[in-house]
Amino acid sequence: MDINQNKRAGFGLVEMMVSTFVFVLVVATAAVMFTYFWRNYNFSFDEGRTVATAQYVMDRINAEAREMQVSEAGGYPLMRADDNEVGFFADVDNDGVVEQVRYFLSGSELLRGVVEPTGEPPTYDPGQESVKVVAENIRNSTPVFYYYNESWPGDLVNNPLAVGSRLTQTRLVKVELVVNTSPGNIDDFKIDTEIMLRNLKTN
């Protein structure tokens, strides 16, 4: 038997085992890195899409609320003014008819409800409300809506307005949304806007 041949065969086996180990280690490391970067890419993509949607909704609320007016039934323009729900009357589809509109938080979703007036005299039937989800992954631990009187920002004592005085005294609404697609993994993103209710101004 050739001893040198056996040594070469033995060395080849050890070399193959080491190469296999290194290969497996490289593949495992690459897989971990790929998973990490893919997960972070997905977080970033989802968060970007969520933020863009929330910003679009914010712009929509701003445009609609600025145009609030007396309802077809003669109701006051601002219908509801809660911490997580605002309701008002406005012609949001530009058809010459004033709709009842409300935005409200339900869990982690922001919804938009619209009621068309019917009958003569006109009425707004809650059972006919069309409700759609307009934003998801909302994480507010504080109110979505804040209400201010016409003396804001000079009046720091009475603002934001307390619940009982909001409907008649509100002249400005602040909307604040906190969004996060993966709490605990990425930071919250806050979007806010201030809406001047120009049809309610008295000065």
| Residue stretches of the chain with pLDDT short of 70 | 1-11, 18, 21-45, 202-203
- Which residues are within 8 A (CB) of 171 and not within 5 positions of it... i.e. 6 or more apart? 148, 149, 150, 152, 196, 197, 200, 201, 202
* pLDDT, position 181: 86
CA distances, 83 to each of 13, 145, 185 (Å): 72, 5, 28
The enclosing H or E element of 30 equals helix 3-66
Whole-model pTM above 0.75? Answer: yes
- 135-150 pLDDT, tens per residue? 999 999 999 999 999 9
Residue-range domain boundaries for the chain: 44-200
Query: Which amino acid appears at position 154 of this protein?
Result: G
- 97-118 pLDDT, tens per residue? 999 999 999 999 999 999 999 9
Cβ 184 vs Cβ 164: under 8 Å: no
